[in-house]
Amino acid sequence: MAAPLTQSQIDIVKSTAPVLKEYGVTITTKFYENMLREVPELNNIFSTTSQMTGRQPRALANAVLAYATYVDDLDKLKHAVERIAHKHVSLQVTAEQYDIVGKYLIQAIGQVLGAAATPEIVDAWVAAYGVLAKIFIKVEGDLYKQNKADKWLGWRKFRIVRKERESDTITSFYLAPSDGALPLPRFQPGQYVSLQVDVPELGYLQSRQYSLSEGYSPESGYYRISVKKEEGTEAGIPGIISNKLHEKYNVGDEVELSHPQGEFFLDPTDASKAGVPVVLISAGVGATPLKAILDSLTGPSAVVKRPISWIHASRSRAVQPFGDAVREITKANDNVNSVVFLKNVGPEDQEGVHYQFAGTRLSLEKLDAEKDLFVNNPQAEYYICGPESFMIDVRRGLVGMGVDKNRVFLELFSTGDVPDE
């Protein structure tokens, strides 16, 4: 991933990092305003909610700053490129659209920085953007080739064949291809699909990514996603798509999906991992991708046996997803251990059955370092999903217990990436 830029261009781009740190969000906000106003069809790709909350401009500003910082050492951005490329492919981003993005990004830099955006700086950034665009186009092109091999490019219509309540806030949707073409392409547990629906009140399409929450089975004929109804308590904006799915979509209705994508996954067929512990740690709806991993390692088609620790935290059993299913899997598999933290316990909740720890958030200190966390095993792997601050805290705690950070994998449900602390 060496950057074919002149040393002068590299020096100029790196010198802009302090300016981008200060004005980056202003630049990216202007960029999105200009581009989405003048090329309105791109509203079909970008999340309106992420625009309204400012998360999308912040995420892009962080990405641009990271590129300026490591333009001479792009290997440090390899994970970020992979994550973003999978997201782009799930949204059907095309190579041609990179020219549009480049035009408006450079324009926004000039508008915000004014005279400070000298011809030398603009020329260096045009060249640097061209290099980055080629990297993404190559990575995404390879992913599209893989999807083409599965005979699935673009959006595909799926019908809701079953709708099942998992908790007070989470509902599972079982989605079968409307064209009836089976079997569905295999996916790796932990991956997601992009789901696209028309939003008449906005005047364009909107897409969201939802983890596949059940392990792959060629016989099932469906993919399952489990969607939390987002009330918008944090962002101040109710989830446009999650509320629509919960309230407006029923069995028989159609949505569109793109091919499963995502760099956060576990390969359940990797024979080299036999006997290697895997620890699945989640909070709330973060259990969805981990449930697919658990299914894949314990279901009828499981081929590699590994010690598994399922550790989950919920505010209460009323909002806890997959509680009954995980208890059944734990009882049926002697290699599975499960621990549940419930913040609020009801009169019918039984200690040792429905939960192990009550009245507290998930705490690594309360867990058995060996039985629950396998911290003394130098090969153990950790998959974490939940709110960003939760994941960062858990990762920091594991590293503090001696776990190699490279064996800790995090999945973020929103725009951007988890800070590499």
Q: By 3-state DSSP, what share of the chain in percent is helix, strand and coil, each rounded to 5? A: 45, 20, 40
Confidence of residue 300 (pLDDT cuts 50, 70, 90): confident
Active site residue 98: yes
The one catalytic residue in 32, 67, 104, 140 is 140
Mean pLDDT in the chain? 95
Closest CA to 87 of 143, 134, 126, 48: 143
CA of 23: how far to CAs of 9, 29, 125, 197, 223, in Å? 20, 10, 15, 34, 43
List pLDDT tens digits, range 340-364. Answer: 999 999 999 999 999 999 998 999 9
Active site residue 140: yes
List pLDDT tens digits, range 240-281. Answer: 899 999 999 999 999 999 999 999 999 999 999 999 999 999
Confidence of residue 63 (pLDDT cuts 50, 70, 90): very high
Higher pLDDT, 301 or 66: 66
Identify the pLDDT of residue 4: 82
Identify the pLDDT of residue 2: 41
Q: Give 170's strand partners.
A: 228
Closest CA to 322 of 382, 280, 364: 280
Residue 7: CB atoms within 10 A of its CB come to 8
Average pLDDT estimate for 139-144: 98
Strand stretches in 343-395, DSSP E: 357-358, 381-385
Identify the pLDDT of residue 213: 98
| Cβ–Cβ < 8 Å for 317, 355 | yes
> Which of 50-64, 107-121, 172-186, 405-419 shows the lowest per-residue confidence on average (mean pLDDT)?
405-419
Query: What is the pTM (predicted TM-score) of this model?
Result: 0.94
Confidence of residue 1 (pLDDT cuts 50, 70, 90): very low
Average pLDDT estimate for 371-378: 97
Bridge-based pairing of strands 381-385 and 192-199 is unpaired
| Cβ–Cβ < 8 Å for 210, 193 | yes
C-alpha–C-alpha distance, residues 89 and 338, integer Å: 35
List pLDDT tens digits, range 143-192. Answer: 999 999 999 999 999 999 999 999 999 999 999 999 999 999 999 999 99
